[in-house]
Structure formats: structure tokens, C-alpha cells
Amino acid sequence: MTTISALMRESSMSDHKSAESAHFIKHLMGGELSAADYTRYLNQLAYVYQALERNLPSEASLPFAPELKRFDSIVADLELLGVADWAQTPMLPATASYVARLEELGGIEDVRLVAHHYTRYLGDLSGGQAIGALVRRHYGLTEEQTSFYHFAQIPAVVPFKEAYREALDNLDVTDDELLVLVSEVKFAFRLNQQLFVELGDQELVAA
């Protein structure tokens, strides 16, 4: 029998790959952009994580463990990258759409929240680690400027990810809720892809 976490991963694989293949992300990870471009990206993520974490409890068990929260780290990184007030930077239309979707969600009983939580935080624990290493190498950023990728309260990432997936597999959801969950994971990756596309459009304008 296919587990919930496997179904989420397999059903969204093509959407995930499309998001990862966006030109902005490929250029960012390839060292073809700049620290300023990375900062633009992080500034937009601040809006996303702020909206997402409004729905998260201060104390909860997996998958909603509070040690995953990233908003405060993002704000701290932006300050070190020269953005004193990140909220003065306007949201891109894609960011606004992303935030609007997150603001529609309920609390942890809403399976759609699980979908967005999985898409962002498991991504941060996985591919996000590679992004952190690459932006430090390519753009001369420090560990302090990339605390977004450092989970100080999670000393062993691999076992934590395994426990996270196990928590997903143990979710008590109906068949209809499972369909909603899988659909929302796919939608979450598409929201991320659209954000990357618009960041890439800004990159072309700046050039």
C-alpha cells in the first residue's frame, strides 16, 4: 500500500521538477546571478513564510514541529544582507497570489496546510541545504547571512526527515481529504514555480 508521504511525493513529481527547472533557480544555483538577486528572492520568501507561520501553533508535534519555522531566520538574514525593512519591498504578483492562498487556510486541521508545510519545510531540509551551500560559495555570503538554511534545533536532519514523513503517513484523513492534500501539494509547487518565473522576469529587466 502506498503511504501518504509517497503519494504526495510521487503525485507532485512533475510539478516539483518544473519548479526546480525555472531559469531563475538554475541561474542562481549556477552562480550566474548576484547576491542582490538572492536577496530579492529571500525578500519575497519572507512574505510567504510570514503567512504560512501565522497558521502554525507555537507548540506541536510532527509534522508541525516549531523548530522548522524559518521566518525569523529570513528576517535576520535580510538585515545582514542590507535590507533593514523587508516589508518595504513590494510583493511580486506571484508572491501576492501565494500569500493569498496561504491566508485562505485554516489551522493544523486543514489538510491544505499540511501540503504547504510539506512543500516548504521538507524542501528546506532537502534541496534547501544545497541552495545554501551554493549561494555561500558563488556569492560570498557568510553562514550568518544564510541562517535560513541552518536548523539549529535539528542536529540530525536525516532522522528528522524520516520522522516527518512517518508523521505524514500517520495522518488520520479521509479519502476525500487525501485527494485535497495531493492536489494542494501540486498547487503549492506551481505557486513556487510562478514566483521563480517572475523573479526571472525581473532579472531580465535588470539586465
Share the mean pLDDT of the chain.
94
Cβ-in-10-Å burial (0-12, 13-18, 19+) of 12 comes to buried
Residue 47 has pLDDT above 90, yes or no: yes
Write out the residue range of the structural domain in which residue 87 sits. Answer: 4-206
Query: Contact, 135 vs 146, CB < 8 A?
Result: yes
Number of domains composing the chain: 1
Over the stretch 62-96, which tens digit does the pLDDT of each residue have? 999 999 999 999 999 999 999 999 999 999 999 99
Domain containing residue 54: CATH number: 1.20.910.10
List, for residues 176-189, the tens digit of each pLDDT value: 999 999 999 999 99
